[in-house]
Amino acid sequence: MATSGSSRTARRTRISPKDFIDITLQKDNQTILANNGGIPVNADLTQVTDPQILALNKNFSDLLKNDGIAYYPDWPAPGYYNVLVSGSQDLTNGSKTVCSVPD
């Protein structure tokens, strides 16, 4: 038996990017992130229950306080971004082969 006026599709509520960021950065949500192994930026670390996760977050916090985080900390050398972009463009336009682009 069909019911009139019902819909099987749920409507999605759209939130703005600003609202998403505000919700994500709330202290309680950041504390949940920390308790699940993440590195939060606004957690209540007194509420973190796992000692290893607490140590990870404390070490990260200490790095931030001591200016120990670089903008691109995982890139092997200064200026590598330019090499990466140039190599990607050469591969895309076919002017170089995979073997001729530095890795």
Does residue 57 lie in a domain region?
A: yes
Does residue 43 lie in a domain region?
A: yes
pTM (2 d.p.) = 0.50
Whether 16 has a pLDDT exceeding 70, the answer reads: yes
How many domains does one find in the chain? 2
Same domain? For 43 and 57 the reply is yes
Q: Please, are residues 69 and 63 in contact by the beta-carbon 8 Å criterion?
A: yes
CA nearest neighbour of 28 among 18, 39, 43: 43
In this predicted structure, what is the pLDDT of residue 61? 82
Nearest-10 crossing angle of helices 17-24, 27-35: 60
Same domain? For 99 and 60 the reply is no
State which residues form the domain around 90.
74-103
Query: Which pLDDT tens digit goes with each residue over 69-86?
Result: 776 655 667 778 888 888
Does residue 58 lie in a domain region?
A: yes
Mean pLDDT score, 5-27: 82
Same domain? For 79 and 102 the reply is yes
